[in-house]
C-alpha cells in the first residue's frame, strides 16, 4: 500500500443532489418532535453536519442550549425515518440524483488497487446510506466518517483515517489523504492534517470561492470521468 491514497467524499452537492429531501425530512422531524420547524427557513445547510443544523434551527427558534441538548438525541434518531419517507420512490418531491459522471468516476477508482475510497460527510450515518442508496451509489462504499461522529466537521478526517486503518491496516497521512467536497467547510476540514483538498464546483460554490478557501485542485464537474480521476489522484502538494 505504499503510495496508496485514501479519497474521502462528501455526499450532498459532491456525489449527488438530494433535491431538498434532507431539508424536508428535517422539517418533518422538527414538526413531529417540537411542533414547529421555522428555524430551518433560510438556514444554510451545505457543508454543515446534521446535528449542527438541528442545533442552529432550534437556536433560531429561541431554544436555550439546555433545551436543545435534551431532545437532540431523539431528534437525530427520528430523522432517518422521515428521510427514508422523503427518498422513497413514491414520495411526491423531486427525486435525488447522482451528479453526472460520478458513477463512472467511482467505478474507475474502485478498479484501482492503490486507492481506498470512503465517505466524509455531515450526514448522520443512517441518512448518508439512505441518500446513497436512493442514487444507487451505496455499493461503492463500506465505511466513512459521519456527522454524528463530529459533530464539528474538522474532527471527521481523523475519524475516517482511523477507520481506514482498521479496514486496510494502512495508516494514511498527509498528502496521501484526498478530501473531496463542494463547500469551503470540506476544503478547510482537513487542513490541520495536511491533506490534499479537492473542491468540486458542483454545489453552491464557484471554482473561485473554492480556490479562495484553500482548495489544492478544483473540478467543475465529474466529466470527463478519466480526467476527473487524474485530477483527484494527481493533485499537487499544497505550498
Instruction: Say whether residue 125 binds Mg ion (CB under 5 A).
Output: no
Instruction: Say whether residue 13 binds Mg ion (CB under 5 A).
Output: yes
Q: Which stretch binds Mg ion (CB under 5 A): 93-101, 111-119, 131-139, 174-182?
A: 174-182
Q: Which stretch binds Mg ion (CB under 5 A): 22-30, 70-78, 92-100, 181-189?
A: 181-189
Among 10, 50, 125, 216, binds Mg ion (CB under 5 A): 10
Rounded CA separation 62/57 (Å): 9
Alpha-carbon distances of 161 from 1, 2, 186, 213, 214, rounded to whole Å: 14, 16, 15, 22, 21
Instruction: Say whether residue 50 binds Mg ion (CB under 5 A).
Output: no
Instruction: Say whether residue 12 binds Mg ion (CB under 5 A).
Output: yes
| Paired residues of 212 in beta bridges | none
Shortest Å distance, C-beta 161 to Mg ion: 20
Compute the half-sphere exposure of residue 222: CA atoms within 13 Å on the CB side of its CA: 22
Chain centroid to Cα 102, Å, comes to: 14
How many C-beta atoms lie closer than 10 Å to residue 201's C-beta?
Answer: 19
Q: Which stretch binds Mg ion (CB under 5 A): 15-23, 58-66, 109-117, 182-190?
A: 182-190
Instruction: Say whether residue 182 binds Mg ion (CB under 5 A).
Output: yes
Shortest Å distance, C-beta 201 to Mg ion: 12
Q: Which of 37, 121, 33 is nearest to 78 (CA)?
A: 33
Shortest Å distance, C-beta 236 to Mg ion: 23
| Secondary structure of residue 168 in the 3-state scheme | helix
Binding site for Mg ion (CB under 5 A): 10, 12-13, 182
Amino acid at each position: 500500500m505504499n503510495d496508496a491514497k485514501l479519497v474521502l467524499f462528501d455526499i450532498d452537492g459532491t456525489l449527488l443532489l438530494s433535491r431538498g429531501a434532507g431539508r424536508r425530512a428535517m422539517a418533518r422531524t422538527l414538526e413531529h418532535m417540537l411542533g414547529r420547524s421555522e428555524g430551518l427557513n433560510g438556514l444554510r445547510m451545505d457543508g454543515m453536519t446534521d446535528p449542527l443544523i438541528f442545533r442552529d434551527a432550534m437556536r433560531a427558534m429561541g431554544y436555550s442550549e439546555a433545551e436543545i441538548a435534551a431532545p437532540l438525541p431523539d431528534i437525530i434518531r427520528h430523522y432517518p425515518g422521515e428521510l427514508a419517507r422523503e427518498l422513497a420512490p413514491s414520495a411526491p418531491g423531486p427525486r435525488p440524483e447522482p451528479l453526472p459522471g460520478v458513477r463512472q468516476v467511482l467505478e474507475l477508482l474502485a478498479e484501482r488497487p492503490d486507492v481506498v475510497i470512503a465517505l466524509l460527510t455531515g450526514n448522520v450515518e443512517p441518512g448518508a446510506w439512505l441518500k446513497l442508496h436512493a442514487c444507487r451509489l451505496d455499493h461503492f462504499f463500506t465505511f466513512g466518517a459521519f456527522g454524528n461522529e463530529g459533530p464539528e466537521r474538522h474532527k471527521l478526517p481523523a475519524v475516517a483515517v482511523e477507520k481506514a486503518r482498521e479496514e486496510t491496516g494502512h495508516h494514511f497521512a498527509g498528502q496521501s489523504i484526498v478530501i473531496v467536497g463542494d463547500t469551503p467547510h470540506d476544503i478547510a476540514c482537513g487542513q490541520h492534517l495536511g491533506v490534499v483538498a479537492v473542491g468540486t464546483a458542483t454545489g453552491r460554490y464557484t471554482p473561485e470561492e473554492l480556490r479562495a478557501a484553500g482548495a489544492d485542485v478544483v473540478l467543475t464537474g465529474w466529466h470527463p470521468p478519466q480526467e476527473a480521476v487524474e485530477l483527484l489522484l494527481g493533485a499537487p502538494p499544497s505550498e
